[in-house]
């Protein structure tokens, strides 16, 4: 059992919290207030960032001390919305949210994953008609191994997970978000994920 804090109690955070609780982990869910997040992080081994990506950096930078020594799993996408409310461009086009988080939180091990799919697939990958792919980006091999284990607990087969390499590879995974609004406009708000076919 792993002690996990989930930052964000919206659809993403709620889906992940429910899946991890169902797998037997001890999960505390924090809302967006700094006090709630700091309290949840204090006893956690792993923190999952499911807060809106456009304000994540400022919010989590303020929790640098509370996040020291933790594994931070970043599932957010930092985007600017278009007139229809869907993502239109990246907030960090020459970098990534994950890289900025790692730079702002040097004592925290950041791992980027699960950001290339609709939230419902994160904790129920087997519900899709074909195997989805989850990508991992991060500098710390041990942290990525812990995250692999958590993904397995959420139903992800090991051969569905691809380790892309260091934290700088997160910019490629985050860029996938630019595809999402077009998929939604074409097929509606139905569960989907990026899948690497071999």
User: In this predicted structure, what is the pLDDT of residue 65?
Assistant: 94
Judged against a pLDDT cut of 80, whether residue 32 lies above it is answered with: no
User: In this predicted structure, what is the pLDDT of residue 189?
Assistant: 82
DSSP secondary-structure letter at 117?
B
Q: Are 15 and 42 in contact (CB under 8 A)?
A: no
Write the CATH number of the domain with boundaries 3-187: 3.40.50.720
Task: Name the band, by pLDDT with cuts 50, 70 and 90, for residue 8.
Answer: very high
How far, in Å, are 16, 167, 184 from residue 22 at the CA level?
Answer: 10, 29, 29
For residue range 106-136, list pLDDT tens digits in order: 999 999 999 999 999 999 999 999 999 999 9
For residue range 146-197, list pLDDT tens digits in order: 999 999 999 999 999 999 999 999 999 999 999 988 988 888 888 999 999 8
Residue 97 burial class via C-beta count within 10 angstroms: exposed 0-12, middle 13-18, buried 19 and up? buried
Q: Are 164 and 136 in contact (CB under 8 A)?
A: yes
pTM of the model: 0.95
Beta strands in the chain (DSSP E): 3-7, 26-30, 46-49, 71-74, 79-81, 87-90, 109-112, 134-137, 161-165
Judged against a pLDDT cut of 70, whether residue 46 lies above it is answered with: yes
Domain positions in the chain: 3-187
Task: Name the band, by pLDDT with cuts 50, 70 and 90, for residue 34.
Answer: low
User: In this predicted structure, what is the pLDDT of residue 3?
Assistant: 95
User: In this predicted structure, what is the pLDDT of residue 141?
Assistant: 98
How far, in Å, are 24, 51, 69 from residue 63 at the CA level?
Answer: 27, 14, 12
């Amino acid at each position: 059992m792993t002690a996990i804090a989930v930052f964000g109690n919206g659809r993403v955070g709620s889906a992940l919290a429910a899946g991890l609780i169902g797998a037997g982990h001890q999960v505390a869910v924090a809302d967006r207030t700094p006090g709630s997040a700091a309290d949840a992080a204090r006893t956690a081994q792993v923190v999952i960032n499911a807060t809106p990506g456009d304000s994540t950096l400022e919010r989590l930078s303020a929790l640098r001390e509370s996040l020291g020594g933790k594994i931070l799993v970043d599932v957010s996408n930092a985007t600017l919305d278009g007139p229809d409310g869907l993502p239109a461009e990246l907030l960090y086009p020459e970098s990534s949210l994950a890289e900025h988080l790692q730079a702002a939180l040097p004592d925290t091990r950041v791992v980027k994953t699960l950001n290339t799919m609709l939230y419902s697939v994160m904790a129920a990958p087997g519900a899709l008609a074909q195997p989805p792919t989850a990508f991992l980006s991060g500098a710390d091999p041990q942290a990525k191994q812990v995250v692999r284990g958590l993904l397995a607990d959420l139903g992800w087969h090991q051969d569905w997970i691809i380790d892309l390499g260091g934290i700088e590879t997160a910019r490629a995974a985050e860029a996938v978000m630019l595809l999402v609004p077009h998929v939604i406009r074409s097929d509606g708000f139905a569960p989907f994920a990026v899948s690497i076919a071999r």
